[in-house]
Structure 1
Amino acid sequence: MRRLLDLIKNKFFLVTVAFVVWMTFFDTNDLFSQYDYHQQLSKLKQEQAFYQTETAKVNKDLEELTSDKGKLEKFAREKYLMKKDNEDIFVIVHEKKK
């Protein structure tokens, strides 16, 4: 018991405890903030991976469209409903079942 009292009265121990408490709870970079920053970083890395894959897909499509006229025509017909002068286009919309 005497040893514990001597430890609590030690100024170096008190300063160290105060420093640890300050850094854990009160500092701008406390543990809670660090956890939030880590969560944000994980989310941003996932978004980065998603956008990199989407960019790769778009670049692949662009390469295909610029190199092949048949694919360009197919893309224009499917995405933008373009047609030739002597054609009619019918768009079929399926109703959702309730």
Structure 2
Amino acid sequence: MLVIIFFAFFISDSNIFARFGYDAKIMELNSQIDYYREKTEQDKEKLKLLESDKDQIEKFARENYLLKKDDEDVFVVE
């Protein structure tokens, strides 16, 4: 009986050490899920703002794609 318990917890493919590793991986993946859910909500809010306001679309295009009006000069500072 003791041999079976020893084998089940320490030697088999699903031993106790692998279990701790799986639990750590699950915690890491859950934190990534939370991060991407939050990021998705932020992006949805940005999209809603862009869809509702023409000035916001212009601001977004200027900041992200370096677009400009014909009578403007754009300087990129890094």
TM (norm. structure 2) is 0.94
1:1-98 to 2 correspondences below 5 Å: 16-93=1-78
CA RMSD of aligned residues (A): 0.8
Distance in 2 of aligned mates of 1:90 and 1:41: 46
Query: Secondary structure, in 3 states, of the residue corresponding to 1:45?
Result: helix
Gaps of 5+ in 1: 1-15, 94-98
Percent identity reads: 33
TM (norm. structure 1) is 0.76
Task: Note the alpha carbon deviations across 1:59-95, whole angstroms, 9 max, x for none.
Answer: 11011001100111011111111001111111222xx
Q: Which has the larger radius of gyration?
A: 1
